[in-house]
Amino acid sequence: MKKCQLEPFYSKPTICLNNYELDPANYLTLPSLTFDAMQKFTEVELELLNNYDMYMFIEKGIRGGITSCIKRHAIANNKDLNDTLFDCNKPSNYLTYIDANNLYGWAMIKPMPKDGFRWLTNKEIKRFNVQSITNDSPIGYIIECNIGYPSYLHDYHNDLPFLPEKQCPPNSKQVKLLTTLNDKEYYVCHYVNLKQALDNGLVLKRIHRILQFNQSPWLKSYILFNTEKRKQSNNEFEKDFYKLLNNAMFGKSIENVRDRLNLELVNTEKRLSKLISRPNFKNRIIYSENLSAVECAKDTVLFNKPIYIGFTVLELSKYHMYNFRYNIMKPFYHNKINLLYIDTDSFFYEIFTTDFYEDLTNLEIKNYFDMSDYPKEHKCFFEHNKKKLGCFKDECMSVPIVEFVGLRSKLYTYRTMNDNYLENCKKMNLKKRKV
């Protein structure tokens, strides 16, 4: 066996033992390891929900990342393109693809719920004022409410409305995460996201329920430790390992235990017949004469995951993306910026400006960008925010984008000035239609 193949096998136990005092040989998967490493590192004692209504309440508010194609096609026209592509008689515009550094990592260093879960009484709800609560308050809230979306905001918020919700689109049977300008009823959200929506003009009509909890940035030390270790890593294995530790921490906190399989490997005909005859039998796979796999429905489901962590991470990550969109980029460019495409942690923009790279040196937006990947001779090169959590970086690293084409979520392509075509085409079932 080659040395390069053995290195990760020997490196992983050393890293885990030195940094977390855990042996990876005791774990089947990295998510299980990182969750134990987090608990050992932070010494936090998390409260598991023993109230079914609370668990279902939080689960109702879990919504994944936003992915949407807003504008199908755009062509750049600016002085940084070559002479054959630039038309000085047309308005100058830039296409830019920017991505947030470890968005979920940024969210995980913020105050996270840990214990003290309780429902507020009707009297407490009547006195409740969400606008008076700071984002770093020691007490946090998850709120179920009705929210109005005033019509005068529709044009301004048209490309990215606040408070996305799970719905079935017209002519579809599949539930998707939609950003709509409709009023919201019985909408469950983190109080920070509700404050943000109200600050941007939405109207709180009624509060139905409020779940209170104690919160603190108890996860911050673990996330920053892994982030710093990743910066110091000198090989790809370690960089990917530390990155995955943080990402898997989020995944473990939002795990849906209902999806776990109750699977048994069987090597005798007697045992196979017994399992198949059970009322909870679901399926079986025959591998050979002496080996089969039998899946049975679970008799009970144990909800033993702190899903309130995953819920909060998803909510705060959306808060960060909306904040960048409406409090940073919109005020700076006003009506000269169009959103072409949004993914969970990235934006594809069309910006009408004479020099986008000159704009990046402006102090109003400079501190929100990580420009450490630019060439050192480039005027935008700036190492101060290198790999800083939540900062946005240019995916093309100063190479101008010429054209963008987007058909739908997860289905787009763009071309850079050096004629590189970069595309994202998620495997999906597409129906052929006549036009």
Among the residue ranges 40-44, 209-213, 395-399, the one predicted with the least confidence is: 395-399
For the chain, percent of residues with pLDDT exceeding 90:
67
**DSSP state letters, 42-59:** H---PPPP--HHHHHHHH
Length of the chain in terms of residues written: 435
Q: What is the side-by-side strand order in the sheet with 263-266? A: 263-266, 291-296, 281-288
| Cβ pair 91, 352 in contact under 8 A | yes
Helix axes 307-323, 191-199, angle to 10 degrees: 20
- For residue 2, the model assigns a pLDDT of 46
* Bridge partner list, 119: 211
Q: Give pLDDT, residue 240.
A: 87
* pLDDT computed for residue 6 by the predictor: 47
Residue 248 has pLDDT above 60, yes or no: yes
Neighbour-count burial for 228-267, b at 16+ CB within 10 Å, e otherwise: ebbeebeeeebeebbbbbbbbbbbbbbbeeeeeeeeeebe
| pTM of the model as a whole | 0.90
Using DSSP, state whether 208 is helix, strand or coil: strand
Q: Are 66 and 176 in contact (CB under 8 A)?
A: no
pLDDT of residue 96: 95
Question: For position 419, what pLDDT does the model report?
Answer: 72
Evaluated on CA atoms 132, 135, 141, 145, the torsion sign reads: positive
Question: What pLDDT sits at residue 11?
Answer: 61
Q: What is the pLDDT of residues 186-238, one digit of tens each?
A: 999 999 999 999 999 999 999 999 999 999 999 999 999 998 888 888 888 88
**Residue tagged 């591998």 (tokens):** 287
Residues 244 and 252 sit within 8 Å (Cβ to Cβ): no
- Greater confidence (1 vs 385) lies with 385
pLDDT band at 3 (very low <50, low <70, confident <90, very high): very low
Q: 346 — phi, psi (to 5°)?
A: -145, 155
Share of the chain above pLDDT 70, in %: 93
Least confident of 264-278, 363-377, 421-435: 421-435
pLDDT tens for 136-190 read: 999 999 999 999 999 999 999 999 999 999 999 888 888 999 999 999 999 999 9
* SS3 at position 92: coil
Place of tokens 């960008």: 369
